[in-house]
Every structure is written in C-alpha cells, then in structure tokens.
Amino acid sequence: MELNYYSPAEIAENYYQIGIKKASLPVAKQFVLAIMAGFFVGFAAQGYNEAIHTISSTGIAKTVGGTIFTAGLIMVVVAGGELFTGNCLMVISWVGKRISLGSMLRSWAIVYLGNLAGALFIVFLILNSGQFDFSGGMLGAFTIKTAVYKTTLSFGKAFCMGILCNTLVCAAIWMSQAAKDIPGKIMGVFFPIWLFVVTGSEHCIANMYLIPAGILAKLNGSWAAKAVEMGVTAEQMSALGVKSFLVNNLLPVTLGNIVGGSVLIGLLYWFVYLTQNKEK
C-alpha cells in the first residue's frame, strides 16, 4: 500500500529538485509569483491586526491572530507563490551542488523584491479602503503602535526573533512537502505558523506590510492621536520612518530569517538525510 506522505528523508531528497526548479524559473515568473506571495502574507498580516486590535490580553490576542495569519502561507503553498523565507531551503540544493551560489542568491534577491512589491500593494489597498477607521480609528492606531514596537527592538532581539520565526516557517514548508494532498499540506503549515505568531517572532515579509502600513497611518492625525492614547510617545512616532524600518527591523530580521531557515532547518536536515554515513 502506497503511503500518502513523504518521509523526512524523501522530503530532503525532493528538495534537490525543488531548488533546481526555483532557481531556473524565468525572472518574470519568479517576480510575479513573489508579488503574489507578498500580497498573500500582507493580507494575512492585516487580517491578524483586524482580529486582535480590540483584544487586551496579549496571550489571547496572539492565539486568535495566529489562526488568521496562517492563511498567508497556506495560500502561498496551495495557490502558488514564491516566498523569500521559505526559499531559504534552497540552500539544500546549493550545498548538494545542484545549483550555484550565484543562482540561489539571484533567486533570493528577485523573490525578496517581489515580496516587498506585493506587501506594499496591500498597504496601498488597505490604506485606501477605509479599514483603518474601524473601531473609531483604533485599527489605524494599533497599526502605528505595532510598527513602533517592531522598529524599536534592539538589533540582537530582532535578529534572534527572526531566527525563531523562520525556523518555524521553514518547518511548516518542510511539513507541507510531506503531504501529497491539500488537506495534509494545510495541516502541515497551520500549527508551526500559529506557533511562530503566538511566540511573537519576527517575519521579514510580514513586516514589509506591518511597518510601512504604520508609517503611512501615522500621517493621519486622528489615528496618530489615538496611538498616543495607546502609549506611543511623540518621540517614537517621530522616529518611525523608512530608515527605522530598513535598519532597525528589516535588516536584522532578514538576517535572522536566513539563519533560521537555511541553517537550522535546511543545512541540518541536509546533513542528517543527504550526507553519507561514514561510521563503521
């Protein structure tokens, strides 16, 4: 009887071919699929904010929000998309000498920029949809507060939270590859992503929506005033901008995501399942 799932060793072997396919995709197709993935994740991030912005308990909020945010990666896996954080697993094909370092880095760059474009498109649509006026403008204020929190993390904290996040994201991608049917893929994705959200880890692509949305939301005086009522200081509001987004958050989180996905999942599983056992 044929099993309806792949073993971890089979997943690892399959990743050689997955990495080759990703690296050989035409640039235009990679970029469009990356835009879709950024769009899906940005949409999920907005859904997360909408679900929790009136919940005072942090634990309950993250538990509820995590169930919503999982939709982002589920859409990427099932509908199709190229997500930078998941593509950190291409390192398996590189160390296995199936693709070159240059082709992997080129693919990462194209997908990263496409993810950014997709996330910023969602920012534009949400900002102009009137959704930040929900709950008397509290959603707009919460969006600002979230962006301020993320851009005031220390480099070390953001880096470590990035490692934690993409260890779980790539575990979710890995588990989805075990399944041969859509329900199995959804279940494989759901719980690791839920866990990463509940633990408050940092995802660079989600932040490509969450922080720019906060930067633009602060330009609305009503939302900014409500953010101050929520505890955001004038100094923090003033510091929230493109520089703080790129330097304080996106850089350390991206580096952490690369370490978590490429090293703690990709390289370790490559070593376990794809290197020869030299023990006597």
- What is residue 3's predicted lDDT score, i.e. its pLDDT? 72
Q: If you average pLDDT over residues 85-93, what whole number do you get?
A: 98
- What is residue 276's predicted lDDT score, i.e. its pLDDT? 74
Phi-psi region for residue 275, left (φ > 0), alpha (ψ -120 to 50) or beta? beta
- What is residue 277's predicted lDDT score, i.e. its pLDDT? 54
pLDDT at 7 over 60: yes
- Give yes or no for a contact between 217 and 140, defined as CB atoms under 8 angstroms apart: yes
Structure tokens at 201: 């880890």
- 164-180 pLDDT, tens digit per residue, is 999 999 999 999 999 99
What are the C-alpha distances in Å from 219 to residues 179, 238, 239?
A: 45, 11, 13
Q: Tell me the chain's radius of gyration from C-alpha atoms.
A: 19
* pTM, two decimal places: 0.95
pLDDT at 275 over 60: yes
**In the structure, what pLDDT confidence band is assigned to residue 205 with cuts at 50, 70 and 90?**
very high
Q: What CA–CA distance (Å, rounded) separates 63 from 60?
A: 5
Which domains are assigned to the chain? 8-273 (1.20.1080.10)
Q: What CA–CA distance (Å, rounded) separates 49 from 72?
A: 13
pLDDT at 27 over 60: yes
